[in-house]
C-alpha cells in the first residue's frame, strides 16, 4: 500500500486486492467519518474478475446465475451502491472515495459531476477526448462508447463505492452482463488510444486530478 496526502484528502494505493477486502477497508473508513474522525480518503486499486450488482440491478442484465458467474471465474457481490450491474477486473483502475459530503456542501449532484471532471481531466492528460452524456452518470468518448463508470453509496452524507476507469482490461469479460444496464453502450479502454498503457502510468495523473478537484 502507498499513501499520499493532498490538501484535504488522503490517497491510498492498494494494488490489486479482492473486492471483499476493499469493501472492508471502505466500511472501516466510513465508520470513522460517521463518527467525526479520520479524513476524507480515496482508495485506488484493481480487482480480480468481479461482478457487482447495485441497488437498481435488473435480472435481464445478468443472464447467468450467481453460481454460473462464479464458475466462469468471477467473484459476485450484491452491494448498496447506485446503478445496475457492472464488471471490475485487472487493468481497470478503481477509485473509492470515502468523503464526508456534509463538509463539502451536501450536494450529491455536484459530487458526481466532480468525479466525472476528475476522470475527464485524467483522460485528457493522455490526449483522450472524453465527455459527459446527458442523462447518464459516467464518462464517455461519444454517445455509444463508455470508458468510465460511476456508482456510489451514501449514508448520512458519507460516501462509499465510486468509479472505475477502463485502462487496459479484458473487455470480453464485460460480456457476462449488460454493463450498467445499457445494452447500447460499448465499453472501451484507454489503451485503444494510447498503446501499451498500464494502470501504473495512469495512477499519478488520476491522483493529481483528485487533489486538484477535491483537495
Predicted local confidence at residue 178, as pLDDT: 87
Predicted local confidence at residue 7, as pLDDT: 46
Task: Average the pLDDT over 79-101 and give the result.
Answer: 93
Q: CATH says 2-214 is which class?
A: alpha beta
Report the predicted TM-score, pTM, of the whole model to 2 decimal places. Answer: 0.94
What are the tens digits of pLDDT across the range 176-192? 988 888 888 899 999 99
Task: Average the pLDDT over 11-38 and give the result.
Answer: 96
Portion of the chain with pLDDT greater than 90, in percent:
82
Q: Write out the three cell numbers for 134.
A: 446527458
Question: Which pLDDT band, with edges at 50, 70 and 90, does 5 fall under?
Answer: very low
Residue 163 predicted with pLDDT over 70:
yes
Do β-strands 2-5 and 10-16 pair in parallel, antiparallel, or remain unpaired?
A: antiparallel
Predicted local confidence at residue 6, as pLDDT: 43
> Is-contact 98 41, C-beta < 8 A?
yes
Active site residue 180: yes
Of the residues 168, 169, 180, 211, only one is catalytic, namely 180
Predicted local confidence at residue 155, as pLDDT: 93
Single out the residue of 203, 175, 215 nearest to residue 74, CA to CA: 175
Residues 6+ apart with CB under 8 A from 93: 44, 46, 164, 165, 167, 199, 202, 203, 206
Residue ranges per domain, the chain? 2-214
Task: Average the pLDDT over 2-29 and give the result.
Answer: 86
Residue 1 and residue 54: Cα distance in Å, rounded?
A: 27
What are the tens digits of pLDDT across the range 115-149? 999 999 999 999 999 999 998 999 999 999 999 99
> Is-contact 215 6, C-beta < 8 A?
yes
Residue 18 and residue 83: Cα distance in Å, rounded?
A: 21
Amino acid at each position: 500500500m502507498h499513501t499520499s496526502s493532498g490538501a484535504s484528502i488522503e490517497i491510498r494505493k492498494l494494488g490489486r486486492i479482492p473486492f471483499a477486502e476493499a469493501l472492508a477497508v471502505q466500511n472501516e473508513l466510513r465508520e470513522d467519518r460517521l463518527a467525526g474522525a479520520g479524513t476524507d480518503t480515496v482508495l485506488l486499486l484493481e480487482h480480480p474478475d468481479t461482478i457487482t450488482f447495485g441497488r437498481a440491478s435488473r435480472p435481464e442484465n445478468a443472464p447467468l446465475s450467481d453460481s454460473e458467474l462464479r464458475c466462469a471465474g468471477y467473484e459476485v457481490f450484491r452491494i448498496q451502491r447506485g446503478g445496475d450491474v457492472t464488471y471490475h477486473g485487472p487493468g481497470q483502475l478503481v477509485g473509492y472515495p470515502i468523503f464526508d459530503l456534509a463538509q463539502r456542501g451536501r450536494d450529491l449532484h455536484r459530487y458526481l459531476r466532480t468525479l466525472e471532471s476528475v476522470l475527464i481531466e485524467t483522460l485528457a492528460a493522455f490526449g483522450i477526448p472524453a465527455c459527459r452524456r446527458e442523462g447518464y452518470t459516467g464518462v464517455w468518448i461519444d454517445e455509444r462508447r463508455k470508458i468510465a463508470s460511476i456508482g456510489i453509496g451514501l449514508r448520512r452524507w458519507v460516501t462509499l463505492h465510486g468509479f472505475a476507469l477502463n485502462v487496459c482490461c479484458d473487455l470480453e469479460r464485460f460480456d457476462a452482463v449488460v454493463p450498467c444496464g445499457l445494452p447500447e453502450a460499448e465499453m472501451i479502454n484507454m489503451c485503444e488510444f494510447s498503446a501499451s498503457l498500464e494502470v501504473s502510468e495512469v495512477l499519478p495523473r488520476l491522483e493529481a486530478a483528485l487533489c486538484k478537484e477535491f483537495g
